[in-house]
A and B are shown apart, each in its own frame.
Chain A
Amino acid sequence: MTEAYSAVQPARGNGYYTALCDQPSGTRMLEIEGLNFSRDEEPILRPLDLAVDAGQVLMIRGSNGSGKTTLLKLLCGLLPVTEGRLTIRMDGQPVEPVDPAFRREHMYIGHQLGLKLDLTSLENQNFFAAFFGSDLATPRESLQRVGLEGYAHSVARRLSAGQKKRLSLARLVLNRHRFWLLDEPYSNLDQAGINLVDDLMTEHTRNGGAAIVTSHGTFVPQVPDLKEIIL
């Protein structure tokens, strides 16, 4: 998978994602110390220490049930941090995952993509633009960026699994968010789709953002500053 992927060079910098995150590369954005999580006394996540800087992509690898999704849910505030310490820094100031300042600056895309299958691609994007804001691209431009311009009026239910994944990624392009928390962003994607994810993350991190992504696969994302951990 890694070799096949490396052979393809993604076309970079299509110009839609041009926002600055006002965060110099290398600035510490996230620190985790001794973070763990258990449910009904059953450990879901073993104690974890890690740090993520601006401009970095953190790839969390692990087999099924290793706690990748749980970690992302802890980071975005869907699960409460009960053991250990999680420090998110925004402009040098520590904030909580449930703090509106952090919520404004992160975009979480989970296993379930958050798409409405009875709406068209454009209607889905129109909603995300109205809900999250669309300072960087219009809904149509965001569809163009992920290669779905020809499917703007297609009902999402009729899209393939890969196209649905692309449609879910299109919301990343609409607005500026410093943190991207993406659960298995490469799943269901063909090679062009994998390149697209790398493109988006490259542009995002070059502009001072950080991305935390999970994968149970072994391929290596082609991004400038990649950090990996295995759960």
Chain B
Amino acid sequence: MTTTWGAGWALLRRDMRLGIRQRSEIVMPLMFLVLVCTLFPLGLGPDIPRLREIAPAVIWIAALLSSLLALNHLFAEDFADGSLEQLVVSEHPLPWLMMSKVLAHWLISGLPIVLLSPVLAFSYQLPADGTAMLFITLLLGTPTLSLIGAIGVALTVGLRRGGMFLALLVLPLFVPVLIFATAGVVSTVSGLPDTSHVFFLTAMLVLALTLAPFAVSAALKISLS
């Protein structure tokens, strides 16, 4: 007999192993992020103050779209190969299992974005405190995006052309995270108080951690039936 904790850990390890083996899951969103961030200076020209000004929004929007790109893979393979059915009919609480899956997904596709952000910030010549704030907002914001996005993926997993629906469904839900995150970095760079933005992002993460696994479970059951 396996404990719920053990089952979640087993699922996390398996998904991490799969993610590392299928390297495109890590590389593609990162490549997308880097490409989008590179295109802006090419389009706007070498106007450093202007680039520095738009850097928080550009990097965050690129990170958001990159997360969206990676989200498509969250349940697609599990749905196709029958693994999702195995999880749903297992004795273990589905929300807990979904938490494991989303965590694995974030570690594979979200954390690399966070770790890459100082390099991108440097390329836009963001000051050190702005770079640190960008790192913090991404660290708090990208897991929230994964959790919110997982609800949309669970609802659209059985649909043909679900990717388009997914974007329409979850992008509006990503907006509060985007607003508070970019505002936080802009406040830091401008020397304004920024802690309230971090608190809001933390609150959104806690809320998503608490509610999203249940919403994902309910959505998956609907999709599978």
- Which A residues are closer than 8 A to B by beta carbons? 76-80, 100, 103-104, 106, 108, 110-119, 123, 127, 130-133, 135, 175
Contacts and interface: CB of A to CB of B under 8 A. Distances in A.
**In the complex, the 10 A-B pairs of residues with the closest C-beta atoms, listed nearest first:** A112-B82, A130-B10, A103-B91, A114-B82, A104-B91, A114-B86, A133-B2, A127-B14, A133-B1, A76-B89
B6 A113 contact: no
Given A78-B85, A114-B85, A118-B21, A132 B90 contact: yes
Contacts of B10: 127, 130-131
Contacts of B179: none
A6 B197 CA distance: 73
B225 interface: yes
Contacts of B17: 119, 123
Contact of B86 (A80, A108, A123): A108
Contacts of B80: 112
Interface residues of B, number: 26
Nearest to A98: B89
Judged by DSSP, the binding face of A is: loop
Contacts of A80: 225
A80 B21 CA distance: 36
Nearest to A118: B21
Nearest to B89: A76
B91 A100 contact: yes
B7 A78 contact: no
Contacts of B89: 76-78, 103, 106, 108
B1 A135 contact: yes
B11 interface: yes
B47 interface: no
Contacts of A106: 89
B214 to A, nearest CB: 15
B14 A119 contact: yes
Contact of B83 (A77, A103, A116): A116
B215 to A, nearest CB: 18
A81 to B, nearest CB: 11
